[in-house]
Structure 1
Amino acid sequence: MSSQNTTIISDFKPKSAFINMIMERGHYYQSSDLEGLDKIALEAEQGKRELVGYIGYDCTAPSLHVGSLTQIMFQRRFQQCGGKPITLMGSGTTRIGDPSFKNEARPVLTLEKIEENKRGIQKVFDKLIDFSDGKALMVDNIEWLEKVSWLEMLSEIGRHFTVNKMISLEIVKRRLDDEIPITFLEFNYMLLQAYDFLELSRRYGCVLQMGGSDQWGNIIQGVELCRRVDNREVFGVTQPLLMNSAGQKMGKTVSGAVWLDGDMLPSFDFWQYWRNVDDADVGKLLRLFTELPLDEIKRLEELQGAEINEAKKILANEITALLHGRDAANSALQAAQAQFTSQGGDASGLPTVELEIDGELSIAALFVKAGLFASNSEAKKAAANNSVSIDDIKISDVTSPAAAIFEGKASVKLSSSKKKHIIVKKK
């Protein structure tokens, strides 16, 4: 099984709109057979065949985060080019836990928690993928995984996997090299993911699995299983993980993950995350997460100095509009502009929290409860560095009672530096 990556395809000229788009937009990293995939994608675009492809999402959290947004956009591009995407909910595989690039086993979740997480995750897909009239499907691998017997899995599927090959895969080899235990439960994850591909191939004619580059080993196992069991040619394609220009994974802030669910992360905070990305990442993120023309993106990423901030605002607006709607994006922009005005500026778009204000609560503790700092000492340090404001007025003493700042007020605006703001309402 060959593997191709961006370092050896510089002279490849795709004929299909799908391969061309994912290359131009920065979604392409590696494929099991790039020329073969390009060929069937072109046939699908010409109406000669149906092209069905899937991405799986385990239900490990109540929402997906920014790292998963790259996968959803991958599916969106696929659909825009005539493909039929399958969103596979991994209720079954979540019970096992994907060991990919993890230093320890995932915590075991209850069936109730997995179902709750699944409901939260599903909400985001309707915003980016068109499921009407069978244009896309959403299925759950629990449909077949809970029905297959242990003996059947061993005799029909397990016999196609060698331990030699499995321990040579990067996701396993790294754990073994670092002498980090990998449980037999985790070791079986790649069998189940490969079996997912086989089932989707049989049920829905799926011939493509897409995913992040960290899933390459699992994807190839599925490609080979479909060939060995059903003698069917299927394909795998991955995209780069979401990294910033410094080589660090994107999608986390001091306050935690950048969730896609507006109930877990207000749209204003989501907007601010993109507004504050590094200058060097603007062009890449515009390609990945917006549908602006490439010529316009090229113009924006070439802006210098203060002008690049306008490109960042456009980036923040476009991504927020995709996830939360154009009204939410405009509201976030207006709230951000209000940060640089006097107290009379409109801050209605800022995130708001309602808190109990008792006599023992200090201002530092209030900032911690509001989520702007992780600890009282961090708040005190920021105040000493002139980075803390209440209602746009700098303060250096955060040890006094918080109740005092609410005298005659129902709410106050707390600010950490010029980037993080929140309205606190008194219960």
Structure 2
Amino acid sequence: MSKYTNLTIIKIIKKLRNILQSKNPSVIALSTASAVSVTGLAFISPVILLLKSSYQISSNEVQLAITIYLMAICVSQMFWGPLSDIIGRRKVLIFGAALFSIGGFLASLNVSFEIFIFFRFLQGIGAAACLSMPRVMLTESYGATEASGKMSTLLAFMAIFPILSAAFGGLIGEIYGWQMNFITLFAFGFIVFLLNYTYSPETIKNKGKKLSLRTTFLDFRSLLGQNAFLYFSGVSSIQAAFFFSMAGFMPYQFERLGASPSEYGLWFSLTSIGYIIGNIISKSYSNRVGLNKFALFGSSWCFLSIALMFLSEVPLISLPLTLASACFMFGLGNGFILANVLVLALSSVEKKRVGSASGLLGAMQMLCGAMLGSLIVFVGGDQQFWLALTILLSLSIVSILCCYRAFVI
């Protein structure tokens, strides 16, 4: 073994020792955990049709694989925060990762669809812990300035993982069957568990502080009575719901256009790529233009993008590329909107209620996503693509009006 190799190994060992002895959690470990929730959705979307065929169920029933998952995240976010105040952030995070992992393994077994949905619900509960804890732990571990930089890494992971999940989810499902997708989620959850068990120490300083349910209720009631918060959270919830609902009905349209599950995963991943590019553009120009104006522009852009999806029904250009291009444009518009309305929503409330506002906003996004996806499939939007797009266009108009109303307040 060469002297250079020995020095390299020694450097790696020293770095690992520094990480283990660090009082602050690993940013990579927390960022990976934050990507659990979106991975659990994007990795399953390409195999929705395989699930439907395997269980021989209707579109409404297979939609539960997405709806139940989102509902579990929505509800669980409401109690993971208060519970972490009592028992600690680290315990909640590693328990959530373990629950997500176990749920993935159990869902891969040859069980009835009802039991499968229950295991999917468990995955959602675990994913909620992985979604909510990393942001809090970063904020508690680093100062405001440093935490902002660390948060960009976390957000980058949350943007990149859906791309990889959609691309590889369809490929794995098509070659090995949908069960392998859940085995992969089991492995991913286990890796997240190991990373945070090893590299994420406790960050809360005053464990045992109990949060009054009455105080939480009063905070939520106060937030729901503030017009600016309602308008901005409405825009955020509608736009996030668009993406979540597309994960449920887009596979059907891509199949009609001749795309296989693996091809669908690759095409639909353009939505997330567009979102990343939109975020970069927003970061560069939104402060110059104004956050509200840029969000209004983004809402209008999304309306146009959804309208362009109708082109996939035109015979001469009825191609996966046509629809994927419109999805890319939609992702771009989402990137223009979401970060800006999140800042606007949280800045419109009192500082003492920012934590409650953040939790309520996240829950509203998941709830709207679950409800919209189920509504579209229930009315037949999975089979009649124009019907799904009509619903999205109607809500897109609501989003534009909410932006405008918030602008004139």
**Do both proteins adopt the same fold according to a TM-score greater than 0.5, normalized to the shorter chain?**
no
TM-score relative to the length of structure 1: 0.23
Higher share of residues assigned helix: 2
Q: Which of the pair has more CA radius of gyration? A: 1
TM-score relative to the length of structure 2: 0.23
